[in-house]
């Protein structure tokens, strides 16, 4: 289940054809083209604007989540951090704190949430799945505890307008500017920096990464910090976008984020996946949901389709290499394909 370098034996255009990111991007383009042609109103600027506004929280959180999953860890607590930061903005605003300060405090709380996850996973060495199920409940509980069943609404109009503002008359939401900036920076870090190489090394084999000089614990800690801050930012956006701070804001969003990341070609075992594919994955789910909703299909069917896509996507990533190794074995009788060393991938489900 580790990455096979055998694929480099093929020419670049063949690799491009079987490339996961390209496949997701192609699917996205196909869905958009089909929807523009067949779904009334899908091609309008307004639909596109709302598509981006609605998927923005998932888009943001998917970026650091990708990096966390590439190291072979996972963070299930992101939606609870969204809820907690939303509540903190609400509670502080209600108490008369200037809204800019409230947002800043929410970001710091997000950082602290990430620090707790990161400390327990990276330095104590606990399994991230268990830790973040715990902090999922903890952070959500703090959010609900702070605000109860009430909601803080009536935020200043300039802030709620800011969340839905567009760049001029292009229809592109303003929130896409920080997103694109963050995506570019993180893509550079992940794909073109020693720190980013370290992230992949950790995912492929933490021991080997450690021996080759990667600071495994610090890398993981930093990534959890990043996830916390970005989730808090998404929470602030969420609050102003819907003009409401509630304890149960964004419940269940973690599963949407993880579904999109995995759909985008990131291996849950770590060590494989690229940001481009993930962004395409988020937009693919967003486009399908948006198109089907315009067609009057209910949210249930959309759930089924997203679930089926997720299952199909891992089945293809895992069954295709297996099938190709099988054909390779058939072609050269007597030689068995090199088995992935145990420990890589098998330590995680």
Partner 1 sequence: MTDTVPHTDRATEALVEPSRLSPAQRAVSALVRSREVSILVVLLAVVAAATVKNPNFLFSGNGWRDLLLTPSILMLLAVGQAVVIITRNVDLSVGSVLGLTAYLTGRLFVDHPDLPIVAVVLAGLLAGGVLGLVNGVIVAYGRVPSLVITLGTLYIYRGIVLTWAGSNRINAADMPADFLALGTNQILTIPVLFLVALAVLVAVGYYLYTARGGREFYAIGSDPDAAVLYGLRVKRRVLSAFVLSGALAGLGGVVFAARYGTVSSDAGTGLELSAVAAVVIGGVAIFGGSGTVWGAALGAVLLVTINRALPILGIPDFWQQALVGALILGAIVLDRLLASRRARRLVESRDESPTHTAEPGPAEPTDSALAEAREQA
Work out how close the CB of 252 gets to partner 1 at its nearest, in angstroms, rounded to a whole number: 8
Work out whether 120 is an interface residue with partner 1 (CB under 8 A): yes
Six-digit token string for 14: 């063949």
Site string for partner 1, 254-273 (x = CB under 8 A): -x--xx--x-----xx----
- Biggest alpha carbon distance in the chain? 76
Which CB atom, from 70 or from 183, has the smaller least distance to partner 1?
A: 70
Work out how close the CB of 77 gets to partner 1 at its nearest, in angstroms, rounded to a whole number: 9
Choose the binding region for partner 1 from 119-127, 159-167, 185-193, 197-205 (rule: CB under 8 A).
119-127
Six-digit token string for 214: 């990667």
| Contact (CB, 8 A) for 135 and 77 | yes
SS3 state of residue 172: coil
Residue of 11, 37, 96, 125 that binds partner 1 (CB under 8 A): 125
Q: Which helix (H) or strand (E) holds 246?
A: strand 245-246
Q: What distance lies between CA 307 and its chain's CA centroid?
A: 16
Q: Which helix (H) or strand (E) holds 313?
A: helix 299-331
DSSP states of 63-74: HHHHHHHHTT--
Work out whether 252 is an interface residue with partner 1 (CB under 8 A): yes
Q: Residues for the chain: how many in total?
A: 349
Work out whether 307 is an interface residue with partner 1 (CB under 8 A): yes
CA 5, CA 173: separation in Å to the nearest integer? 40
Work out whether 347 is an interface residue with partner 1 (CB under 8 A): yes
Query: Within 18-77, which residues bind partner 1 (CB under 8 A)?
Result: 74
Work out how close the CB of 159 gets to partner 1 at its nearest, in angstroms, rounded to a whole number: 26
Which CB atom, from 131 or from 223, has the smaller least distance to partner 1?
A: 131
Residue of 105, 126, 174, 189 that binds partner 1 (CB under 8 A): 126
Choose the binding region for partner 1 from 143-151, 152-160, 218-226, 324-332 (rule: CB under 8 A).
143-151
CA 128, CA 268: separation in Å to the nearest integer? 13
Which CB atom, from 64 or from 247, has the smaller least distance to partner 1?
A: 247
Which CB atom, from 57 or from 345, has the smaller least distance to partner 1?
A: 345
Residue 246 φ then ψ, to 5°: -135, 155
**Taking each helix axis from N to C terminus, what angle separates 275-294 and 45-70, rounded to the nearest 10 degrees?**
140
Work out whether 306 is an interface residue with partner 1 (CB under 8 A): yes
Work out whether 79 is an interface residue with partner 1 (CB under 8 A): no
How many residues touch partner 1 (CB under 8 A)? 56
Work out how close the CB of 136 gets to partner 1 at its nearest, in angstroms, rounded to a whole number: 7
Q: Which residue do the tokens 């869905």 mark?
A: 31
CA 261, CA 268: separation in Å to the nearest integer? 9
Question: Closest Cα to residue 185, out of 174, 196, 173?
Answer: 196
Using CB under 8 A, list all residues that contact partner 1: 1, 74, 120, 124-127, 129-131, 133-142, 144-145, 148-149, 247, 252, 255, 258-259, 262, 268-269, 298-311, 314-315, 318-319, 322, 342, 346-349
């Amino acid at each position: 289940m580790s990455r096979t370098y055998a694929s480099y034996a093929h020419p670049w255009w063949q690799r491009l054809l079987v490339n996961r990111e390209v496949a997701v991007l192609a699917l996205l383009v196909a869905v958009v083209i089909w929807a523009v042609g067949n779904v009334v109103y899908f091609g309008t600027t307004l639909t596109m604007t709302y598509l981006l506004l609605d998927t923005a929280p998932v888009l943001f959180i998917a970026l650091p989540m990708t990096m966390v999953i590439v190291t072979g860890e996972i963070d299930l607590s992101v939606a609870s951090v969204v809820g907690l930061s939303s509540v903190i903005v609400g509670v502080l605003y209600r108490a008369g704190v200037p809204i800019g300060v409230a947002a800043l405090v929410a970001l710091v709380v997000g950082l602290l949430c990430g620090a707790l996850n990161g400390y327990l996973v990276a330095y104590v060495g606990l399994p991230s799945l268990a830790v973040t199920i715990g902090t999922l409940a903890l952070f959500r509980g703090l959010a609900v505890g702070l605000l109860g069943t009430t909601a803080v609404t009536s935020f200043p109009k300039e802030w709620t307008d800011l969340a839905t503002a567009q760049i001029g008359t292009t229809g592109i939401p303003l929130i896409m500017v920080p997103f694109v900036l963050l995506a570019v920076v993180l893509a550079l870090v992940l794909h073109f920096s020693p720190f980013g190489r370290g992230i992949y090394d950790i995912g492929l084999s933490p021991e080997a990464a450690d021996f080759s000089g990667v600071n495994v614990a610090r890398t993981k800690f930093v990534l959890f910090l990043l996830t916390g801050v970005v989730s808090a930012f998404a929470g602030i956006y969420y609050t102003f976008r819907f003009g409401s701070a509630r304890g149960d804001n964004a419940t269940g969003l973690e599963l949407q984020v993880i579904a999109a990341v995995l759909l985008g070609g990131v291996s849950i075992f770590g060590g494989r996946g690229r940001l481009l594919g993930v962004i395409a994955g988020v937009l693919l789910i967003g486009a399908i949901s948006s198109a089907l909703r315009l067609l009057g299909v209910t949210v249930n069917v959309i759930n089924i389709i997203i679930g089926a896509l997720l299952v199909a996507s891992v089945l293809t990533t895992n069954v295709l290499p297996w099938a190709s190794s099988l054909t390779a074995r058939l072609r050269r009788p007597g030689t068995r394909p090199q088995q992935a060393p145990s420990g890589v991938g098998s330590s995680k489900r």
